[in-house]
Amino acid sequence: VTPARERILRRLREASREPGHERPPALSSVAGWGPPGASPIETFAERFRHFLTVGDETYGSFRTARSIEEAAQSAAEVLRSAGAGSLVAHPSALCVEVLDLLPETGFSPARADRVAEAEAALCEADLLCVETGSYLIRPCDGWARAGSLLPPVQVVLGRESALVGSLGEALQAVSGWNASCCAVISGPSRTADVEKTLVVPAHGPRELHLILALGR
């Protein structure tokens, strides 16, 4: 307990406002997001792709996979086309399954502490937010926070069951996680600080590819 703390809290209590505002209810759930008739997957895909396009350039992709083999095939195509030779991989079961099926194309999984040198990252999103087209990811034993930031090419696997409607619902879920941090990621990193010209990448990845595992 410091004098500064006590003084600030005392001043705030003296200045305290009469409670005149009730807490508003949460906004509507998944049904309210997206154009009428569009499924949550279609809406998520449209919103995710929105972040990938800058002018005439596209910095990533959204794909669906009906099987783990199809997911691995998509991941391989992305890595091959990006020219990525080494990657760091999330230790989730889905990532391990995909990693095991990656064809022999020269990918060499790097240790998690070698994330700065990795040319690509393969991770699994904890949640996918339909309202914003974002994915959420938290660190764990074997997955560094910087894994989502330093490798220039990101391949993100997402389960269909990880879809949530609103950002509020996603944040509600994060509230219950026992994690030191969480990132809500919407597109590859960007800056428009120079004359409002949008440039990808800024400090983070330059490509973001999401593969949605249907039925998982």
Partner 1 sequence: MRPLRARMACAVENADLRQRLDKALTHTIAAREDRVRERADWEALRDAAAARRRHALERLPDLLEEFERNATASGARVHYAQTAGEATDLVAGFTGRPAAPLVKSKSMVTEEIGLRIALAGAGIAVVETDLGEYVIQLANSTPSHIVAPVIHLSAGDIARVFRSELGLDIPEDNDPRTISLAARAHLRDAFLRAEVGMCGANFLTAAEGAVVVCTNEGNAGLCTSLPRRLIVVAGIEKVMPDLASLHECLVLLASSSTGQRQNCYLNILRGPRAGGEPDGPDSVDIVLLDNGRSALLGDDGLWESLACIRCGACLNACPVYGVTGGQAYGWVYPGPIGIVLSPFLGSPEGRAMADACTLCGACGDVCPVRIDLPACISHVRARGAPRLPGIPSAAAAAFSTSPFGLLAGLVRARSRRQGRVRLGPARAWSLGRELPPCSGVPFRRLWRDEGGDDE
Rounded-to-integer distance, Cα 37 and Cα 29, Å: 15
Tokens 């760091």 sit at which residue? 88
Rounded-to-integer distance, Cα 49 and Cα 132, Å: 11
Site for partner 1 in 148-167 (CB under 8 A): 148-150, 166-167
Binding status of residue 102 toward partner 1 by CB under 8 A: no
Cα distances (Å, whole numbers) of residue 44 to 37, 49, 127, 169, 201: 13, 8, 12, 15, 22
Rounded-to-integer distance, Cα 17 and Cα 98, Å: 56
Long-range contacts of 57-60 (CB under 8 A, 24+ apart): 57/200, 59/187, 59/188, 59/200, 59/201, 59/206, 59/207, 59/208, 60/154, 60/187, 60/188, 60/207, 60/208, 60/209, 60/210
Which position among 71, 75, 94, 185 is part of the footprint of partner 1 (CB under 8 A)?
185
Binding status of residue 85 toward partner 1 by CB under 8 A: no
| Candidates 2-10, 77-85, 97-105, 118-126; binding stretch for partner 1 (CB under 8 A) | 2-10
Other Cβ atoms less than 10 A from the Cβ of 82: the count is: 18
| Candidates 18-26, 65-73, 79-87, 92-100; binding stretch for partner 1 (CB under 8 A) | 18-26
Binding status of residue 81 toward partner 1 by CB under 8 A: no
* Shortest Å, Cβ 138 to partner 1: 9
| Candidates 72-80, 95-103, 155-163, 169-177; binding stretch for partner 1 (CB under 8 A) | 169-177
* Shortest Å, Cβ 61 to partner 1: 17
Binding status of residue 193 toward partner 1 by CB under 8 A: yes
Amino acid identity of residue 94, one-letter, is L
Cα 198–chain centre separation: 20
Which position among 74, 187, 209, 213 is part of the footprint of partner 1 (CB under 8 A)?
187
For partner 1, what does the binding mask look like between residues 114 and 153, x meaning CB under 8 A? Answer: -xx--------------xxxx----xxxxxxxx-xxx---
Which position among 70, 96, 202, 216 is part of the footprint of partner 1 (CB under 8 A)?
202
Binding status of residue 61 toward partner 1 by CB under 8 A: no
| Candidates 12-20, 63-71, 75-83, 101-109; binding stretch for partner 1 (CB under 8 A) | 12-20
